[in-house]
């Protein structure tokens, strides 16, 4: 892809703390106006990667650009053109919504500050609450305020670090509606999340574990490239059945999804042979199933897990 069409274009991104490597040779490309979901277990290097992309951390190795700016030589300029939303609410709880936004607008030296703050309050549905103290807001409203603060200086790139953690489903949906509106306007979004339903709303995905990228692409590409065979089974005593299935040859994961178990493996023939005796149990209903994202990511993680 033409480099000018990429909002994020980095290669070999590495960060070490002492003799511990927390990000190891990450390559990442995200086109302008796309929403990229950044997934991985806790401690996988997502936050460290995001902080290197927005100029808050200097990589120990690697190179590349964000918004056409060098991530090392032009880190200060990236800070001015990107919006970064941290995992934890980082605004002043003893200031009102408007006061917080006005303060952030001053930091970024936003022209016509009052007009921009007014427009942002309206756009984010915060105008009616603008005098309310930030510390008195619910999680969903704090999230909305934090996103509003990221947008005041009209960034071309949003880096969102688990922005919906602890937020109710309605607020999460409204948040994602805003993200898609922004992407439609040309804003690029890199968002880390643990929620598979949110991952499905992204244009493309990157999965990282132990500081290394294990999979990237669209949801369809990642599922098709997983090489997984999956059986779905419904019936009584599924918890006991899961315990029986987990140690069988060819079974890599057994996970509950609602009233069914997904039994996944990389060798379709071996998996089928292992579950064959259980398919004759009249109370159980077995069907072949397509892997879903959680199946894929559970198995990616199992490849990285050390032996017990």
pLDDT of amino acid 2: 61
Find the mean pLDDT for residues 69-86: 95
From first CA to last CA, the distance across the chain in angstroms is: 42
pLDDT of amino acid 308: 39
Among the CATH numbers 3.30.1540.10, 3.30.1330.60, 3.30.70.920, 3.20.20.70, which is that of 227-290? 3.30.70.920
Confidence check: pLDDT of 54 > 60: yes
Residue that wins the pLDDT comparison between 88 and 154: 154
Tokens coding 103 = 């303060």
Half-sphere exposure of residue 304: CA atoms within 13 angstroms, side-chain side? 17
For residues 265-298, one letter each, b for 16 or more C-beta atoms within 10 angstroms of the residue's C-beta and e for the rest, the string is: beeeeebeebbeebeeeeebebeebebbbebbbb
pLDDT of amino acid 165: 81
pLDDT of amino acid 167: 81
Residues 6+ apart with CB under 8 A from 205: 36, 37, 38, 39, 199, 215, 216, 217, 218, 219, 222, 293
Topology annotation, domain 3-222: Rossmann fold (3.40.50)
Q: From CA 52, how far away is CA 147, in angstroms rounded?
A: 20
pLDDT of amino acid 110: 95
User: E strands within the chain?
Assistant: 6-17, 20-31, 35-39, 61-66, 69-70, 82-85, 157-161, 188-192, 204-209, 212-217, 229-234, 253-257, 260-265, 285-289
The pLDDT tens digits for 112-138 are 999 999 999 999 999 999 999 999 998
The pLDDT tens digits for 135-157 are 999 888 999 999 999 999 999 99
In the structure, what pLDDT confidence band is assigned to residue 272 with cuts at 50, 70 and 90? very high
The pLDDT tens digits for 9-49 are 999 999 999 999 999 999 999 999 999 999 998 889 999 99
Cα dist from 58 to 81, 161, 202, whole Å: 17, 18, 27
Q: From CA 41, how far away is CA 208, in angstroms rounded?
A: 8
CB 49 within 8 A of CB 63: no
The pLDDT tens digits for 277-301 are 999 988 999 999 999 998 898 888 7
The pLDDT tens digits for 99-111 are 999 999 999 999 9
Confidence check: pLDDT of 306 > 60: no
CB 216 within 8 A of CB 199: no
Q: Domain ranges in the chain?
A: 3-222, 227-290
> How high is the mean pLDDT of the chain?
92
In the structure, what pLDDT confidence band is assigned to residue 304 with cuts at 50, 70 and 90? low
Q: From CA 69, how far away is CA 78, in angstroms rounded?
A: 7
pLDDT of amino acid 169: 86
Cα dist from 279 to 15, 229, 267, 276, whole Å: 49, 16, 18, 5
Question: Quick one: what percent of the chain has pLDDT higher than 90?
Answer: 81
Strand partners, 190: 36, 159
By DSSP bridging, strand 229-234 and strand 285-289 are antiparallel
pLDDT of amino acid 3: 63
pLDDT of amino acid 257: 87
Q: From CA 111, how far away is CA 105, in angstroms rounded?
A: 9
Find the mean pLDDT for residues 54-77: 95
The pLDDT tens digits for 204-249 are 999 999 999 999 999 999 999 999 999 999 999 999 999 999 999 9
């Amino acid at each position: 892809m033409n480099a000018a069409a990429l909002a994020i274009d980095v290669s070999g991104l590495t960060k070490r703390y002492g003799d511990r490597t927390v990000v190891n040779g990450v390559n990442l490309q995200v086109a302008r106006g796309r929403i990229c979901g950044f997934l991985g277990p806790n401690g996988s290097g997502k936050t460290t990667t995001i902080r290197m992309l927005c100029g808050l951390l200097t990589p120990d190795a690697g190179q590349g650009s964000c918004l056409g700016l060098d991530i090392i030589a032009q880190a200060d300029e990236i800070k001015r053109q990107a919006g970064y939303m941290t995992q934890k609410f980082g605004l002043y709880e003893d200031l009102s919504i408007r006061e917080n936004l006005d303060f952030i607008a001053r930091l970024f030296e936003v022209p016509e500050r009052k007009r921009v703050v007014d427009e942002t309050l309206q756009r984010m549905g915060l105008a009616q609450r603008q005098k309310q103290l930030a510390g008195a807001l619910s999680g969903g409203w704090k999230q909305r305020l934090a996103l509003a603060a990221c947008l005041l200086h009209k960034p071309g790139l949003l880096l969102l670090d688990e922005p919906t953690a602890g937020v109710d489903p309605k607020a999460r949906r409204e948040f994602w509606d805003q993200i898609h509106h922004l992407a439609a306007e040309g804003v690029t979004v890199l968002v880390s999340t643990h929620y598979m339903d949110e991952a499905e709303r992204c244009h493309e995905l990157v999965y990282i574990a132990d500081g290394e990228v294990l999979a990237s692409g669209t949801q369809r590409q990642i599922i098709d490239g997983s090489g997984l065979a999956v059986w779905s089974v419904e019936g009584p005593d599924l918890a006991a059945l899961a315990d029986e299935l987990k140690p069988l040859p060819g079974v890599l994961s057994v996970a509950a999804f609602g009233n069914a178990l997904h039994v996944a493996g990389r060798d379709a023939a071996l998996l089928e042979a292992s579950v064959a005796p259980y398919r004759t149990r009249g109370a159980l209903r077995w069907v072949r199933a397509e892997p879903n994202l959680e199946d894929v990511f559970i198995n990616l993680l199992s490849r990285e897990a050390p032996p017990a």
